[in-house]
Structure 1
Amino acid sequence: MILLPALFAVLFLGMQAALHYHARTVAIAAAQEGARAAGSDTGSESRGIDAAHAFIDDIGNDVLRHAVAQAERTATTATVVIEARSLSVIPGWNPVIRQSATVPVERVTAP
Structure 2
Amino acid sequence: MSPRRPATSSSHRRPRQLHCRRRGERGAVSIEMVILLPALFAVMFLGMQAALFYHARTVAIAAAQEGAKVAGGENGKDSDGATAASSFVADAGGDDVLAGASATADRTATTVTVTVTGHSLSVIPGWSPTIVQSATLPVERLTAP
Q: TM class, shorter-chain normalised? A: over 0.9
1:42 aligns with 2:36: no
For 1:64, the equivalent position in structure 2 comes to: 98
Structure 2 segments unaligned to the other structure (5+ residues): 1-33
Provide the secondary structure at the position in 2 that maps to 1:110. Answer: coil
Q: How far did residue 49 of structure 1 move? A: 0.4
Q: How far did residue 60 of structure 1 move? A: 3.4
Matched letter for residue 96 of structure 1:
T
Percent identity between matched residues is 68
1:14 aligns with 2:44: no
Q: Distance in 1 between matches of 2:107 and 2:41?
A: 47
Higher relative contact order (CA 8 A, sep 6+): 1
Aligned to 1:24, which of 57, 66, 71? Answer: 57
Larger Rg, first or second structure (1 or 2) = 2
Runs of 4+ in 1 over 3 A off after TM superposition: none
Q: How far did residue 87 of structure 1 move? A: 0.4
Q: Distance in 2 between matches of 1:24 and 1:3?
A: 32
For 1:104, the equivalent position in structure 2 comes to: 138
Aligned to 1:83, which of 117, 126, 143? Answer: 117
For 2:66, the equivalent position in structure 1 comes to: 33
More helix by share: 2
Structure 1 segments unaligned to the other structure (5+ residues): none
Q: Distance in 1 between matches of 2:119 and 2:64?
A: 15
Matched letter for residue 84 of structure 1:
G
Alpha-carbon contact 1:26-1:60 (below 8 Å) kept: no
Q: Distance in 1 between matches of 2:123 and 2:35?
A: 21
Matched letter for residue 82 of structure 2:
I
Residues 1-30 of structure 1: per-residue CA shift (max 9 Å, x gap): 210011001000000001001110000000
With normalisation by structure 2, the TM-score equals: 0.75
With normalisation by structure 1, the TM-score equals: 0.98
Q: Distance in 1 between matches of 2:52 and 2:90?
A: 17
Provide the secondary structure at the position in 2 that maps to 1:2. Answer: helix
| Aligned CA-pair RMSD | 0.6
Aligned residues: 111
